[in-house]
Amino acid sequence: MSLFGYLKLGGCVLGAALLLPAATQSEPHSCQAGAPTAESYTWNFRAEAQGLLDEVGDEARQTREHADQLHTLMSTESDWEPQALELSEIRDDVNLMGRKLCRLEGIRRVASPWEQKAIDQAAPLIAEMANDTENAITFLNNGHHDLFMPAYTSLGSDLYQRSASLAKSISAFERFGKVHQEDMRLEKSLGLINRG
């Protein structure tokens, strides 16, 4: 499945939120790179990729917190309104991660190998989170009286596990990137890297 397909899932999440606070609805974005501009020849795409991955990690951690709260609400027989609010937050976070992932895919060729691997691991998790969110919203919209069915409550657990996995994965790649950069600086300062 292409990244464009993942973003369609995110777009569907926006469209499925009948009971949730309305978000700005827009067409899913294409993940194709645009035409080069004068700025694109001097733009620091590597720094942008690193920044975007940091932001996706932050969003994943935020999603994990909302998913944990959602799962707690599902387990304590709460009304549907607080669950709808958490799902709205999750939907917004997942859609934001999808847009950032789209941009990362567009600049992937200039990203470092470890960043490319991080993108590869993030894409299916974000797509699964979008699908889980859409299914939970649809379930909530279709019947407030069935909120304790395992088919619904397992979505909260899945969202938590996937967002936690994404946050952990990106954190590990970020740690690797920092260690790798320090290793390169040390090799250079010791004259172990050929400067030719």
- Residue 5 sits at the vertex; the CA angle it makes with 64 and 109, to the nearest 5 degrees, is 85
CATH code of the domain covering residue 179: 1.20.120
The pLDDT value recorded for residue 153 is: 87
pTM: 0.74
**158 falls within a domain:** yes
Between residues 29 and 184, the one the model is more confident about = 184
Residue 162: half-sphere exposure toward Cβ, Cα within 13 Å: 22
| 45 and 108 Cβ atoms separated by less than 8 Å | no
State the average pLDDT for the chain.
Answer: 78
The pLDDT value recorded for residue 147 is: 75
Per-residue pLDDT tens digits for 143-174: 766 777 888 889 999 999 999 999 999 989 88
**90 falls within a domain:** yes
pLDDT at 94 over 60: yes
pLDDT at 17 over 70: no
**Total structural domains in the chain?**
1
Q: Which domain holds residue 87?
A: 44-189
Per-residue pLDDT tens digits for 138-150: 988 887 667 778 8
| 15 and 80 Cβ atoms separated by less than 8 Å | no
**175 falls within a domain:** yes
**168 falls within a domain:** yes
Which residue type does 42 have? T
Confidence of residue 28 (pLDDT cuts 50, 70, 90): very low
The pLDDT value recorded for residue 173 is: 85
**20 falls within a domain:** no
pLDDT at 48 over 80: yes
Q: Range with the lowest mean pLDDT among 32-36, 85-89, 117-121? A: 32-36
What is the average pLDDT across 6-32? 39
**82 falls within a domain:** yes
**194 falls within a domain:** no
For 55, the token pair is 């932001």
What one-character-per-residue DSSP string does 62-79 give? HHHHHHHHHHHHHHTT--
**99 falls within a domain:** yes
pLDDT at 1 over 70: no
What is the average pLDDT across 23-30? 40
CA distance 15 to 141: 12
